[in-house]
């Protein structure tokens, strides 16, 4: 088949025709390694035609030869004198080259052209694996393969995925089918997909995975389930990936037969210690535990009048002898607390700074509410210098159109990482807090809530693969630009031809902002459908708790809209450094993108943009929709350049996105008008349906809802 493909490609090339477009189903992600042709092929033949390695059976060499075999369209031999030399620092051939391999740590590597050979060298096998994938990326991009001089060391040590996957394979906030982890059949049946998952993650530098939901079931900590987890750990290990588990805080009661789960009760302490010992006896390189405690109904130390630190430290002591870590989430808010939900994590955690054990990280969402299309950076990042804080991003698009809306999330994540906490002075970016460099922390970590499921294309849509990819690349190096990451991904996923890369890039880069504009412009937030979070529902009111309603967040009245978080309102502005607090406290100095996050503004108030608030809202809704229409047109123009299956699905999804963008605008406009009755700005079309029509729509089976 491969030979045939190459022959066909050669023939087409000889006839001056464009390369043929093969049908693809997306399973191969960015690891397609389709046969090269022309100059790219001859260059790769010359530079990468064979491999030499002392450890020919290593994962790095296996992956390298597998990728090169695809690119060259022929088996690539591993033999002495091979063109690509792969080896660790203690390999005599590598030693003889005298390369500087200092400071590479566990994961770093160098790639160097040395005369006519290409050398991949690292301190460890994992470093070599990352180097192998880097070289394959360069070959797939068809850039120059001579004079290579690459040195890479990740900025963050633990680059982790969080699967919100239940033990029955239901994925909370999952839009790509059921969980890839087929627990019932594990450990006996090991789906080949597990290895492909590990390969994909390793290729972008992800080195850890939490395989169960933060809303956890304690069963996973029982012996038979730990045997299942071990089977996964054994498959992931050669790819440098550690397994972590969510520990349900009440497990000592639920599976241990204890009367309580009080972290200061010696019986509870002993139970967790024994449980940790058991876990490590089964999985010696187990990473540690992630905990969601006293949040949205989950059990936690506060059930016993203890603090988050009491809970975290008790678990930290249990895993410390084995080198484990605790990732303790700061996503807490209580409906018994009348305070602004956005303020609660800060109020709860800042007083605990300095009281956590050395092997505890506090895991903080990028914003203070909940993965909204746009949020200002979480104020905790500027307020806990004595504690390593890890970033939690959401890759799955719970609030950004599920799998059908195209939204490339790197720009959103970069916005948070680049934000300056001003603690204690300018230049203290969130990225520097998270990578540990600002406060000299040894532990550093980032988590991404996975968008992976058992759909053939893994993520429910081709373009959502880009978000998995971008997350891994940014966790490795947060200095990479959204543009550079997208280019890499497009070249690997569709091909390096500029006629593909440029237009697809032009779709991806503005796509996140477009979603913000048509859903929640100007700092609006949490206006999605109740429970499942699908579609517009700014009218959501009532129910079990106020902070699960839309009206809590937008606070629209006849006169204005927005959540007053100024010093006259909830005072949330003062959780930021003074420079920001002063700025956010005034309408004039608040960036328009965050206006209604911090202020309640009159509908007819003139903004810095020259428009009234009402006109500005309409303008932004319209602009977001136009961007999506533009994306559709661009994609239509690529019909001959992209394979049929991926083109067709994406075209259908863009049509859904355009329709739903319009729905967001129309439903929102109808609802806002019901408060103030103002006419629409000139040129704006009235919503085609009545407000009650939009309110009557219901989606009882929308995917991914919490159970
Ligand atoms: C919210 C999700 C919910 C999660 C929660 C969390 O709607 O399903 O359990 O975050 O992060 O955004 O714990």
Write down the domain spans for the chain.
35-152, 158-478, 515-563+600-696
Q: Which atom of ligand 1 is nearest to the CA of 365?
A: 11
Instruction: Write out the E strands in 335-388.
Output: 360-365
Residue nearest to atom 10 of ligand 1 (CA): 370
Nearest to 37 by CA among 121, 168, 112, 142: 142
Q: What's the pTM value of the predicted model, to 2 decimals?
A: 0.97
C-alpha of residue 577 to centroid of ligand 1, in Å: 28
Nearest to 421 by CA among 391, 381, 392, 361: 381
C-alpha of residue 450 to centroid of ligand 1, in Å: 13
Positions marked catalytic? 296, 370, 398
Q: Which atom of ligand 1 is nearest to the CA of 298?
A: 13
* Fold topology of 158-478: TIM Barrel (3.20.20)
Ligand 1 pocket: which of 170, 331, 399 to mutate (most atoms within 8 A of CB): 331
The CA distances from residue 311 to 258, 301, 315, in Å, are: 16, 5, 7
C-alpha of residue 694 to centroid of ligand 1, in Å: 26
Q: Which atom of ligand 1 is nearest to the CA of 706?
A: 8
Residue nearest to atom 12 of ligand 1 (CA): 370
* Fold topology of 515-563+600-696: Alpha-d-glucuronidase, C-terminal Domain (3.90.1330)
Residue nearest to atom 8 of ligand 1 (CA): 706
C-alpha of residue 6 to centroid of ligand 1, in Å: 48
Ligand 1 pocket: which of 370, 371, 547 to mutate (most atoms within 8 A of CB): 370
Count of positions (residues) in the chain: 707
C-alpha of residue 509 to centroid of ligand 1, in Å: 27
At the top level of CATH, the class of 35-152 is: alpha beta
Residue nearest to atom 11 of ligand 1 (CA): 331
pLDDT of amino acid 336: 78
C-alpha of residue 356 to centroid of ligand 1, in Å: 24
C-alpha of residue 172 to centroid of ligand 1, in Å: 8
Q: Which atom of ligand 1 is nearest to the CA of 214?
A: 13
C-alpha of residue 392 to centroid of ligand 1, in Å: 12
Q: Tokens 């808010």 correspond to what residue?
A: 333
What's CA 37's distance to the chain center, in Å? 34
Q: What is the Cα–Cα distance from 388 to 226, expressed in whole angstroms? A: 28
Q: Which atom of ligand 1 is nearest to the CA of 399?
A: 12
DSSP 197-261: HHHHHHHTT--EEE-S-SS--GGGGSHHHHHHHHHHHHHHGGGT-EEEEEPPTTHHHHTT--S--
Consecutive 10-residue runs of the chain (707 residues): their mean pLDDT? 45 44 88 97 98 97 98 98 97 96 98 97 98 98 97 98 98 98 98 98 99 98 98 98 98 98 98 99 98 96 98 99 98 86 97 98 98 98 98 98 99 98 96 98 98 98 99 98 98 97 98 99 98 98 94 98 98 98 98 98 97 98 99 98 97 99 99 98 98 98 90
Q: Which atom of ligand 1 is nearest to the CA of 449?
A: 11
Residue nearest to atom 13 of ligand 1 (CA): 214
Ligand 1 pocket: which of 163, 174, 215 to mutate (most atoms within 8 A of CB): 215
Residues with CB under 6 A from ligand 1: 172-173, 214-215, 292, 296, 331, 370-371, 398, 706
C-alpha of residue 330 to centroid of ligand 1, in Å: 12
Nearest to 368 by CA among 425, 410, 419: 419
DSSP 435-486: TSTTTT-S--EEEEE----SSTTSSSSHHHHHHHHHHHHHHH-TTS-HHHHH
Q: Is 82 in a helix, a strand, or coil?
A: coil
Q: Which atom of ligand 1 is nearest to the CA of 533?
A: 7
Ligand 1 pocket: which of 299, 332, 706, 707 to mutate (most atoms within 8 A of CB): 706
């Amino acid at each position: 088949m491969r030979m045939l493909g190459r022959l066909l490609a050669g023939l087409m090339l000889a006839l001056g025709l464009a390369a043929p477009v093969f049908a693809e189903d997306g399973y191969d992600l960015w690891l397609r390694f389709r046969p090269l042709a022309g100059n790219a092929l001859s260059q790769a033949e010359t530079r990468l035609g064979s491999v030499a390695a002392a450890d020919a059976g290593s994962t790095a060499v296996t992956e390298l030869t597998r990728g090169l075999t695809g690119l060259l369209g022929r088996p690539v031999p591993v033999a002495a004198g091979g063109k690509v030399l792969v080896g660790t620092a203690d390999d005599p051939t590598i030693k003889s080259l005298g390369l500087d391999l200092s400071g590479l740590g566990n994961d770093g590597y160098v790639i160097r052209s040395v005369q006519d050979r290409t050398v991949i060298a690292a301190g460890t096998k994992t470093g070599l694996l990352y180097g192998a994938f880097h070289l394959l990326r360069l070959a797939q991009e068809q850039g120059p393969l001579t004079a290579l001089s690459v040195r890479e060391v990740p900025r963050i040590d633990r680059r982790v995925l969080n699967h919100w996957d239940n033990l029955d394979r239901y994925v909370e906030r999952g839009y790509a089918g059921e969980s890839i982890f087929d627990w019932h059949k594990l450990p006996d049946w090991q789906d080949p997909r597990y290895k492909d998952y590990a390969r994909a993650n390793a290729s972008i530098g992800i080195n850890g995975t939490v395989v169960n939901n933060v809303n956890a079931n304690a069963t996973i900590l029982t012996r038979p389930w730990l045997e299942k987890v071990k089977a996964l750990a054994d498959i992931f290990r050669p790819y440098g990936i550690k397994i972590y588990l969510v520990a349900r805080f009440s497990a000592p009661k639920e599976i241990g037969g204890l009367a309580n789960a009080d972290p200061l009760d010696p019986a509870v302490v002993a139970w967790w210690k024994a449980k940790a010992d058991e876990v490590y006896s089964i999985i010696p390189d187990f990473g540690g535990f992630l905990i969601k405690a006293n949040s949205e109904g989950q059990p936690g130390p506060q059930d016993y009048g203890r603090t988050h630190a009491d809970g975290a430290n008790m678990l930290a002591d249990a895993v410390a002898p084995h080198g484990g870590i605790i990732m303790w989430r700061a996503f807490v808010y209580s409906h018994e607390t009348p305070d602004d939900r956005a303020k609660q994590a800060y109020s709860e955690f800042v007083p605990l700074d300095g009281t956590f054990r050395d092997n505890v990280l506090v895991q903080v969402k990028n914003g203070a509410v909940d993965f909204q299309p746009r949020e200002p950076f979480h104020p905790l990042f500027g307020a806990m210098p004595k504690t390593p804080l890890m970033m939690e991003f959401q890759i799955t698009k719970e609030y950004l159109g599920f799998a059908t809306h195209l939204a490339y999330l790197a720009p959103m994540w970069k916005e948070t990482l680049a934000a300056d906490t001003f603690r204690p002075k300018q230049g203290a970016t969130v990225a520097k807090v998270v990578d540990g460099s600002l406060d000299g922390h040894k532990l550093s970590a980032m988590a991404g809530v996975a968008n992976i499921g058992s759909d053939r294309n893994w993520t429910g849509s081709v373009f959502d693969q880009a978000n998995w990819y971008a997350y891994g690349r940014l966790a490795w190096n947060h200095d990479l630009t959204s543009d550079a990451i997208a280019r890499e991904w497009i070249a690997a996923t569709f091909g390096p031809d500029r006629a593909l890369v440029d237009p697809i890039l032009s779709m991806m880069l503005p796509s996140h902002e477009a979603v913000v504009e048509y859903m929640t412009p100007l700092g609006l937030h949490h206006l999605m459908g109740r429970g499942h979070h699908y579609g517009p529902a700014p009218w959501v009111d009532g129910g079990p708790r106020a902070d699960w309603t839309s009206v809590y967040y937008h606070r629209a009245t006849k006169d204005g809209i927005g959540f007053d978080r100024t010093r006259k309102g909830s005072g949330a502005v003062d959780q930021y450094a003074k420079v920001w607090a002063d700025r956010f406290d005034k309408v004039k100095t608040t960036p328009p993108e965050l206006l209604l996050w911090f202020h309640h503004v009159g509908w007819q108030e003139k903004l810095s943009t020259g428009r009234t608030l009402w006109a500005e809202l309409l303008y932004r809704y319209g602009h977001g929709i136009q961007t999506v229409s533009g994306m559709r047109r661009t994609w239509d123009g690529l019909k001959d350049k992209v394979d049929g299956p991926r083109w067709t699905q994406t075209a259908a999804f863009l049509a859904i996105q355009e329709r739903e963008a319009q729905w967001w605008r129309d439903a929102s406009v109808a609802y806002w008008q019901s408060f103030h009755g103002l006419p629409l700005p000139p040129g704006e079309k009235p919503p085609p349906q009545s407000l009650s029509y939009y309110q009557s729509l219901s989606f009882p089976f929308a995917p991914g809802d919490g159970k």
